[in-house]
Structure 1
Amino acid sequence: MTDQSIAILVIDDDPVILRNIGCYLEDSGFIFLSAIDGASGIAIFEEERPDAVVVDLNMPGMNGLDVISRISAQSPTTPIIVVSGTGIIDEAVGSMKCGAWNFLSKPIREMQNLEDAINSGLRRAQSMRESAEYKETLERMVKRRTRELQLANDRTEAILIATVKSLSTVINMKDAYTGTHQHRVAIIAPAIAQELGMDHNGLEAVRLAALLHDVGKMGLPSEFLTKPSALDANEMMFIRQHPQMGYDILKDVPFELPIPEMVLQHHERLDGSGYPHGLSGDAILPEARILAVADTVEAICSHRPWRPAHPFDYARKMLTEKKGSAFCPECVDTCLKLIERRDPRLTMFIATIEGL
């Protein structure tokens, strides 16, 4: 039984299915709303704003995919569960691309499966709303700080560094792994940049970008960041939005160098296989290429919720195999050289990987 008045809209042209699902949901404590076609379902959704939607794919007039697209566009945090009798994988994939959150096949032999799907969607929706609110709060913090800097006409390096540290602390409050990861990348990346001959301003820009490169994860559901198993394709789609989210958070901060762009590009790859924009070659900033290598070696050698840390030999193999295709050869060679010669700038990181 549910503890709150949670409304579920079920859209299906089969009155028997509507009745069966409706009886079960009402017995489980949900408020049951129903529609026999897509158009009336959209109308009810817009008027009632239910907490979740269950929809069939094959209906006369407006089909299920059109309904999913309309509802998803209006309310991205409303869980949409498809219940279809086709059982065709392509339709399941197509519905997910349109915005569905889950897919169940008809007939539903265990109604508990439907309730589990609804409750899972409601939990994820709540997490997304909390993350969105947190992101808005963080953006307001950044904008407020920026206005203060502009009014005071004081954009000194010390204040910018203090702002970065504050953001980094906020990140660590949500996800300790991300915060620790960023600090380690901020050790590795500037060492690579210095070896490659970058000047002082460039080194500082790389360090600050490294400290903030995953700030966009503030906008992601916490359950994705801490999931103890590999993410599915739909969850990965959300994860891959974090460079863009990071850029959106930082773009109005008055950095002297393109730090937001470095954050945006740190998952781009030379061969165009990266994200979020599939940049390639010289379209990727040199600083972002350094971040990509530092980020990768640290991530491989660190514990993740879904796997233990890998030894450095594994990281060296992965980077070497992708040198020249995904990663900048000079950055890879420099990074591996620094670690192999136990460069004192990387003492903390080397001590960690030698303890594996």
Structure 2
Amino acid sequence: MNIGASVENKRRSIGTFRAFTDGSAAIVRAASEAELLSDMCRALVEKGGYPLACILRAENGTEQTLRPVASFGIGRSVVEALNFTWGVSEKTFGSCGIAVRTARPAVQNYSANPSGSPWRSAGLNQNLVSNAAIPVKVGATVFGALVVASAETGAFDTEEIEVLVEFADMLSSGMDMLRARTERETFCQVVEENLKNTVQALGTALEYRDPFTAGHQRNVAALSVAIGQEMNLSSHEIEGIRFGALLHDIGKIKIPLDICSKAGRLILPEIQLIQTHAEAGYAILKNIDFQWPVASMVLQHHERLDGSGYPQGLKGDAILLGSRIIAVADVVEAMMSHRPYRAALGQSAAIDEIQRGRGLHFDPSVVDACITISRRPGFARLVLESAAEPGSAFLDETDTQSDELRQGAEPSAHGTNPPRLTLQQSAVMQLVAEGKSVKEIARYMNISVSTVKAHLSITYKTLGA
């Protein structure tokens, strides 16, 4: 029994196992094909015990070049400097050229076979006397060859070649997986870019239809993103909220333009019609396969914590966080912008409004984040495309403040601020004017008697009555 050979075979087996382990890990963590190929060569040298490992890519030009794309170990600089081909010529890289041409493993012992002189000379100078070349395939095509060199003449017996073939197969599988992953990522990037363009087109279509909404959705999106960042939400969550904000008023495309752009008083049926834009937006978006609940965000962006919002009267955490953020951004942008029926109310009034509604209508954490942002320089530029101060020419028509105030609003001169009433407060006052009792109003509006009384109390204080 050759004890020395047995020990050497055991050493190789352990080294090969470790090389497979490192190779498997490399496939999982590799971010690029170049990284994968380099790590696989490293595994064969550091764990497999080979002095040199390299991967040559077979190029299909007229010269049929074998180009080194990865190498590790002694003599790597020599390998990277040499020029080889896989065609039949004086430069043929012996075993590697055969492996690429035949798609089968090939072994070269330099002392027994003087062919492939460039590699033979370089190898002997590094005390390397043999190599094995294993074809590497990507799909059904030969990509090139994995070449492993040794300082031993008989290093590559049948068993060792079988092991190296398995390693090359693992490398091929890793390359297939990485390329498929790259293709998927590229495809997803294209889909995401197309989705962004579609969202932008939808928003632009609404803006072209109604000049009063020009820039509103983009402004609300910008503020919503800033609020999300202040709340330390993930970039993925923020991107979804941005999409929701960019489309939050898309349902207004269903509302008659003369109502959306009306400069004077809105009667209750008109307000109720405008309110349908949240459900209309949901209907438009619900079948689009977003990564986020964009359609539901649009549906819920007029819901309020206390259940006084629309269309479903949701309360508290039943309202999506994205919708709660958009709701605050929508109010702030609306009050800082001009409306056909009033001048811009300014930043201070907008912040006061969400502060009053903190914990009642609006999520306290969202309000706090918005107030923190408002104290920084450039807040008006963030909220508005052109920083709207009272008296500027920036016109818009949006919700919460617009829909909820317009019932009692008359066209106002610049700098004149009408009383700020919510939609329900305005509706309650109209029903009072029609002679209905508190109980009748509660039944008609499907709210409690105590809510009606609270609306009346707040309204009288607001109006100074």
Per the TM alignment, residue 159 of structure 1 is displaced from its structure 2 partner at its CA by: 1.1
1:113 corresponds in structure 2 to: none
Matched-pair contact (CA < 8 Å) for 1:339–1:346: no
1:297 corresponds in structure 2 to: 332
Residue 306 in structure 1 maps to residue 341 in structure 2: yes
Per the TM alignment, residue 153 of structure 1 is displaced from its structure 2 partner at its CA by: 9.1
Residue 216 in structure 1 maps to residue 234 in structure 2: no
1:339 corresponds in structure 2 to: 374
SS in 1 for 2:215: helix
| Shift >3 Å, 4+ stretches | 152-155, 343-348, 353-356
Per the TM alignment, residue 353 of structure 1 is displaced from its structure 2 partner at its CA by: 3.8
**Letter matched to residue 303 of structure 1:** H
Residue 316 in structure 1 maps to residue 351 in structure 2: yes
Q: Percent identity?
A: 41
Superposition pairs of residues 21-100 of structure 1, within 5 angstroms: none
**Letter matched to residue 226 of structure 1:** S
Residue 247 in structure 1 maps to residue 275 in structure 2: no
**Letter matched to residue 172 of structure 1:** E
Superposition pairs of residues 85-124 of structure 1, within 5 angstroms: none
The whole-number CA distance in structure 1 between the counterparts of 2:364 and 2:379 is 23
1:181 corresponds in structure 2 to: 216
The C-alpha deviation readout for 1:58-83, integer Å capped at 9, x for no partner, is xxxxxxxxxxxxxxxxxxxxxxxxxx
TM-score, with structure 2 as normaliser: 0.42
| CA RMSD across the alignment | 2.1
More helix by share: 1
The whole-number CA distance in structure 1 between the counterparts of 2:348 and 2:380 is 20
The whole-number CA distance in structure 2 between the counterparts of 1:189 and 1:222 is 26
Per the TM alignment, residue 187 of structure 1 is displaced from its structure 2 partner at its CA by: 0.7
Matched-pair contact (CA < 8 Å) for 2:261–2:340: yes
Residue 274 in structure 1 maps to residue 302 in structure 2: no
Matched-pair contact (CA < 8 Å) for 1:155–1:254: no
Matched-pair contact (CA < 8 Å) for 1:209–1:259: yes
The whole-number CA distance in structure 2 between the counterparts of 1:266 and 1:229 is 25
Change (3 A) 1:155 1:270: farther
SS in 2 for 1:156: helix
Residue 327 in structure 1 maps to residue 362 in structure 2: yes
Per the TM alignment, residue 230 of structure 1 is displaced from its structure 2 partner at its CA by: 2.5
Number of equivalenced pairs: 205
Change (3 A) 1:154 1:312: closer
Change (3 A) 1:155 1:253: farther
The whole-number CA distance in structure 2 between the counterparts of 1:350 and 1:321 is 26
**Letter matched to residue 321 of structure 1:** R
Matched-pair contact (CA < 8 Å) for 1:272–1:278: yes
The whole-number CA distance in structure 2 between the counterparts of 1:214 and 1:234 is 19
Alignment equivalent of 2:296, drawn from 254, 261, 274: 261
Per the TM alignment, residue 315 of structure 1 is displaced from its structure 2 partner at its CA by: 1.1
SS in 1 for 2:340: coil
Matched-pair contact (CA < 8 Å) for 2:306–2:315: yes
Matched-pair contact (CA < 8 Å) for 1:164–1:212: yes
SS in 2 for 1:300: helix
The whole-number CA distance in structure 2 between the counterparts of 1:266 and 1:238 is 16
The whole-number CA distance in structure 2 between the counterparts of 1:257 and 1:350 is 26
Change (3 A) 1:346 1:285: farther
Structure 2's unaligned 5+ residue stretches are 1-186, 392-465
SS in 1 for 2:224: helix
The whole-number CA distance in structure 2 between the counterparts of 1:205 and 1:278 is 23
Per the TM alignment, residue 232 of structure 1 is displaced from its structure 2 partner at its CA by: 0.9
The whole-number CA distance in structure 1 between the counterparts of 2:236 and 2:260 is 33
The whole-number CA distance in structure 2 between the counterparts of 1:263 and 1:155 is 25
Residue 235 in structure 1 maps to residue 270 in structure 2: yes
Matched-pair contact (CA < 8 Å) for 1:339–1:350: no
The whole-number CA distance in structure 2 between the counterparts of 1:252 and 1:271 is 30
Larger deviation, residues 250-259 vs 335-344: 335-344
Change (3 A) 1:237 1:354: closer
TM-score, with structure 1 as normaliser: 0.55
The whole-number CA distance in structure 1 between the counterparts of 2:200 and 2:188 is 21
**Letter matched to residue 157 of structure 1:** E
Matched-pair contact (CA < 8 Å) for 1:188–1:346: no
Change (3 A) 1:347 1:297: closer
The whole-number CA distance in structure 2 between the counterparts of 1:335 and 1:190 is 11
Change (3 A) 1:339 1:349: farther
The whole-number CA distance in structure 1 between the counterparts of 2:227 and 2:290 is 22
The whole-number CA distance in structure 2 between the counterparts of 1:345 and 1:354 is 9
Change (3 A) 1:355 1:345: closer
SS in 1 for 2:384: helix
Structure 1's unaligned 5+ residue stretches are 1-151
Per the TM alignment, residue 349 of structure 1 is displaced from its structure 2 partner at its CA by: 2.8
Residue 283 in structure 1 maps to residue 314 in structure 2: no
Change (3 A) 1:195 1:237: same
Matched-pair contact (CA < 8 Å) for 2:305–2:363: yes
Change (3 A) 1:153 1:352: closer
**Letter matched to residue 249 of structure 1:** I
Matched-pair contact (CA < 8 Å) for 1:187–1:346: no
**Letter matched to residue 188 of structure 1:** L
Per the TM alignment, residue 190 of structure 1 is displaced from its structure 2 partner at its CA by: 0.5
